[in-house]
Structure 1
Amino acid sequence: MKILLVDDESDKLKKLMQVLTSIEGIDKANIIHKLELNAAKRELINTAFDFMILDLNIPEVLGEDPKNTAGIDFIDEIIGVDQYIKPKQIIVLTAFDDLQVTFKELQNKLAFQVLKFDETSTKWSDIIRAKVEYALLCEKSKGYPLLENKCDVAIITAVKIETDAVKNLKDSWEREKIDGDPTYYYSSMFSSGLKQLRVVTAQQSEMGMSAAAALTMKIIYNFKPKYIIMAGIAAGIDTKNNFGDIIIPTEVWNYSNGKYVHDSEKDSIISFSPDPKSIPLNPDIRELVGQDFSDVLFKIRRECEGAPQHDLEVICDPMACGSAVVANRDIIENLVKSHSRKTVGLDMESYGVFYASNNINNQTTIPIVIKSICDFADAGKGDNFQKYAANTSAKFAKYLIENELKF
């Protein structure tokens, strides 16, 4: 894979190189960087690039003052001049707010992504990493044919206790391995009326949104499921809910998105300025999970070892997703409830699953998160109800697959 960087800012170039060279499968020798537009144009005449990452504020010739429209003019020239070998993807990365706004006006027409470079945030680098990793997957797949509809449902988990609960749903699972992919996948057949459904499951290599997004993209690309379900455990926020209650979020939002800033009123104190992003649940699924499941939940509770003395409930409200475990009520009040008062749960993966499902090429896979409450995100966090919560989540996921989801 060949990548062209067109940027004359040394700090930005250094960080870009760190991001790109940390991706498995990227050879540093195939990353070309140019400090001026004229040099970049010469490269495009002779070389086919998979990615071009372009700074808008770039001079025509090194040493000259750049024009504000130079980067946009360059993109127009690439599109209009037959002599250039067009890069497969162009990403605009700029540190200037005014240039970002200017380019966004043309973004819908040109279909190029514009990212704001910010040293205090990883949002730009996470997006670039995800795009390059997906392109590598596409490149790797050229050697063998793709099979359509290789499974009906995928269930993904983040930790072993969740994986064990999913594996316990069936007596047998067949292990599958994909060349070049370190993840182990397991498949089994579920029954939906007279129809047999192929279900694939896999566990993330580590906890967190990035790992969730990466696994989601791999599963969608390799298995093309109609639904991808994240099952497992989460923290509850509202103490009127109980251990084992099943959260099916109507939307997931990323409360850890934002940047760290210096607090001018408190010298040397760094504060967090949030910029939360949310993704809604598919409206058909939202209607489906809003039913009364009392009889089903009574049966699930009876089947699960270690059930506490209360009825099991399904909760359909927003879930917050962040990059770290939360065990402090002040964080919940200041960072979560203040931005979405209806939020009922916290986890570290759900936003990654929704984001990847909604941004993969030609996506048709519907993401669903089914996570049960195992603690209440405070200093009293423990693992007393983790197994019970993992089991209520997995069993309810199985019920939906076999009785409610449409195939």
Structure 2
Amino acid sequence: MSTVTEDQVREALSRVEDPELGRPITELGMVKSVDVDGSSVAVEIYLTIAGCPMRDTLQQNTYAAVAELDGVDDVTVTTDVMDDAQRKALRDQLRGGAEPVIPFAQPGTTTRVFAIASGKGGVGKSSVTVNLAAALAAKGLRVGIVDADIYGHSVPTLMGSDQQPSVMEEDMILPPIAHGVKIISIGHFIEGNAPVVWRGPMLHRALQQFLTDVFWGDLDVLLLDLPPGTGDVAISVAQLIPNAELIVVTTPQHAAAEVAERAGTIAQQTRQRVAGVVENMSAMVMPDGSTMEIFGSGGGERVSERLTALTGGEVPLLGQIPLDPALRTHGDEGTPVVLAEPETPSAEAFAAIADKLAVRRDSLAGKPLGLGVTPN
């Protein structure tokens, strides 16, 4: 009969990650105690705050990790809460003791930042943002969304998130997670459907806090859902994250395409790269397989061609999202269509765009690596 040891239990706990921080609870100092009595194991773990929304998940994962050990018949998992000194030490550990900075703007960052922009409202920019985020996360990437549309915030609703951010310290916020995507929105901080009545400097400050005070961890992709137009927030994004790439959303209608061009040409002034164009509300697929161009055709291609000419760099048409009732229905229900009905035409179109965005443009293919190998 095998007897489990405390070292074996702690080794098992090293495979349990805090869902918000993305690191093992052993590394974060979240294991308060481990008591082994024959085949019975009692583990007490620290929560970062009293109302930790991940409490049940942490307890369940801790229980599962210990219960699978040979020789363990009974597992008890209890919780305690970190005190102020422990939270401060954890914050310093996560940030390396440095003052808050925008990690995505630092040299050597491995996070690709895409700012989802549009010339006007009503083109489905937020729906595009959340579905691309969910599609990328479904591929195993670590993804975050900043709802930068302060006045017209809708990301929490579209992602079905009513969870509040966890405030660990005054300058460290842990973002809610929905469908495997970390999100932050002004909607998390206001009561009900109250309007936000702010002038430009407040918008800049809010965006800056979303980028510095929120602990994002190691993201592969960050999407920013910008407000329509070329105003304060678009300028702030260019200042705060100059390496952010623009994705312009338009509809097939030529009048909408003309306005969308303006959102893309801001890149000429900010020196940002335009990663591509997404045409939303494209031809609707009918039950018999035919298509109906309710909003016309050619808008996305026109914006792609015009921005390519204006910016001097290739601006591809990344994809065309069919007009699909399922996209609206599942958005209202808080589950992106790429997850709710992945077989629908719109979901497949989003998945195809996500495939393109998941591939880094700075591939090493075909480049000399300078390894010092001398050809014969």
Q: TM-score, normalised by structure 1?
A: 0.26
Q: TM-score, normalised by structure 2?
A: 0.28
